[in-house]
Every structure is written in C-alpha cells, then in structure tokens.
Amino acid sequence: MDYAAYIASLPRCLAAAATLFRDTEGRILVVEPNYREGWALPGGTVEADRGETPRQAARRETREEIGLDLAPGALLAIDWGRGPARPPIAAYLYDGGVLAEEALNGIRIQEEELLSWRLVSRAEIPAHLLGALRGRVLAALDALDAGSGPVELVDGLPVG
C-alpha cells in the first residue's frame, strides 16, 4: 500500500474549539443555538482543511458568533468525545478571561446560528449545558480555580 492510500485508510477524527468567557461576578457566557437543544459556548468546528488550528478556530468562531475578536488564552481542557452518529471529536476549550462591561455590551450574536446569549452562574450550568459539554466546562472551571494546567477528559469526564 502506498503512503497516500495508507493515509486515506486511517480513521477520521473531528476537531472543535470553544472559548470560556466569564464576567466580573464569575458567571460564564453561553449562547443559545437555533439548530439544537441546549446552550453552548462560543465555538465550533476547526476548519483543518483550510489549515486552521484549534486556537485559530476558537478566535474565528468567537468573532463570527458574538462579534468579539479576542485572542484565546490558555488551553483549559481537551476532551475526547465519542458519539454513535459521528466520528470521534477532539474538543479544545480555551480561557477567554474576564470580560469587562464594555465588551459584554459589544456582543452581537450571529443570527444565522444563534437565538441569544446570557451569563450563567456555576450553579446554573447543569440547566443550560448538556452532556459532555457540561462536564468539560465544570472541569475547566475547576482547573481555573486550582490554577492548574489543562485537564484531559473523555466524554466530559476527567481521565484518571
């Protein structure tokens, strides 16, 4: 088998990237997609076919979805997600830092994909974020609180 055929025969994996923004009260910014249940973080699919990295995707998606062009901070979590109806996905979650009132007032949602945005407290996360995303965000918040490095997850749950 030649190299090109070998590469074509390998399993596929998707990649996604999102950014975790907080306000001065510690609430997190979530967005309400119009194409599925539950809320999400600003983020989306990495366009690897265009040479995009996860960090670049997080910035692009933030700019497209909420109108803020901000460089992502530190990597908070990497989550290996398995799903029955799609290939596995590597989901990168970056720190967006604390948004000042001025930045929050500058949010403009992408109406093609989003219905609204809001700030939610840690206690409200289970009511807004579904499945592995809930675990990913809670683990990232724990890492921020502990001042630790990125957390490794599988399906939203810490490894080890």
Domain ranges of the chain: 21-158
Per-residue pLDDT at 51 = 95
> Is the pTM for the entire model greater than 0.85?
yes
- 3-state DSSP call for residue 72? coil
Beta carbons of 73 and 95 less than 8 angstroms apart: yes
Q: What is the pLDDT of residue 57?
A: 98
In this prediction, residue 14 carries a pLDDT of 92
Distance spanning both ends of the chain, measured CA to CA? 38
Determine the topology of domain 21-158 in CATH.
Nucleoside Triphosphate Pyrophosphohydrolase (3.90.79)
The candidate with the shortest Cα–Cα distance to 32, out of 21, 43, 40, 22, is 40
Give bridge partners of residue 151 from the DSSP assignment.
77
* Confidence at residue 10, expressed as pLDDT on a 0 to 100 scale: 79
pLDDT per 10-residue tile (average), the chain, 160 residues? 85 92 97 94 95 98 97 97 88 97 95 96 96 96 93 94
According to the model, what pLDDT value does residue 4 have? 87
Question: What pLDDT sits at residue 158?
Answer: 95
pLDDT score of 125: 97
Q: Cβ distance 115 to 34 under 8 Å?
A: yes
Residues 117 and 34 sit within 8 Å (Cβ to Cβ): no
